[in-house]
Amino acid sequence: MKFKILIPVYNDWQSVSKLLDDINFNLSNLDHEISVIIINDASNHDRNEEEKNFENISSIKILNMKINQGHARCIATGLKYIYEKENFDYVIPMDGDGEDRPEEIKEFINQAQASNEKSIVGERVKRSENLFFKTCYQLHKLITLTFTGKSIKYGNFTCLTKSTVEKMINDKSTWNSFSGSLRKVESELISISSTRGTRYFGPSKMSFYNLIKHSLSIISVFRKTFLIRSALFVIIYILLIKSNASLITAIPLVFLLIAVYSISNLALRENMAEFDKALSNINDIDKIK
């Protein structure tokens, strides 16, 4: 089978260089064609032009973007490019900083052989961040489940069939949220256990702010359900607090209103016209193998 590993990167070439080494090391003795496509999100730091021998990787391409468009849209652009320009059976999107562990790629490939053409997700069973971030992440999953009815325990690190990729590039929500779109277009997904690794170099880029934005972006994919459940929450909550109404008891309602406003704005990112023209943002393509 032909697997395409899709890696978005912005000013983190040192990590990507090490990741390629680790991918090559972990792909030995596999009877499949493994290629890597890197989406360079208009980095302003030059990458090292070092020559390496990646004997277990069939080809490596770098798609250089004209303008920076963000992580989710980089992956969306990569999916569209691979579907329209490449011959493949599966796509494995993964972060380029080491937090998605290359040693787990083999498990994706093994599962793909027995998956009956279903897409596979890496369900997080262990994370490497501090207790505060872990708590916030669990809260994010709980809120998402409560207000959308969708349990999403995975990130970008997945193994997508060709049919899933086709569905995703024809759904505008992919332009806004990868994991939200995947849950929207696929009701049946196979899960494998995935441990969140530590970054190769520097601190994690998933800040508290980025986690909130990530969470709200997922919820925005299911905004109709969110709005209905929010309205029910408001009604029930007001009935519960009507005899004890105060500024303090109004705080949850204020946060909910802020969330509704933020989600409505994030939903505007779902622009199919922009998504259709995504490949026009490719400045050039470097083939380093």
Fold of 2-287: Spore Coat Polysaccharide Biosynthesis Protein SpsA; Chain A (3.90.550)
Q: Considering the chain, what percentage of its residues have pLDDT values greater than 90?
A: 66
Interstrand relation of 2-9 and 282-287 (parallel, antiparallel or unpaired): unpaired
pLDDT computed for residue 175 by the predictor: 96
Residue 215 contacts residue 142 (beta carbons within 8 Å):
no
The rounded distance, in Å, linking the Cα atoms of 169 and 191 is 22
Residue 260 has pLDDT above 70, yes or no: yes
Q: pLDDT > 70: what percent of the chain?
A: 96
In tens, the pLDDT along 53-105 reads 899 999 999 999 999 999 999 999 999 999 999 999 999 999 999 999 999 99
Q: Which two tokens stand for residue 23?
A: 């991918």
* Helix, strand, coil fractions of the chain, as percent rounded to 5: 50, 20, 35
Cα 195 from Cα 36, distance rounded (Å): 22
What pairs with residue 35 in β-bridges?
4, 59
Q: Packing angle between helix 223-241 and helix 208-221, nearest 10 degrees? A: 110
Give the per-residue pLDDT at 126.
Answer: 64
Rounded CA gap, 206 and 186, in Å?
A: 26
Question: How much is the pLDDT for 133?
Answer: 67
| pTM for this entry | 0.90
Q: Domain boundaries in the chain?
A: 2-287
- Could you report the per-residue pLDDT of 162-197, keeping only the tens digit for each? 999 999 999 999 999 999 999 999 989 999 999 888
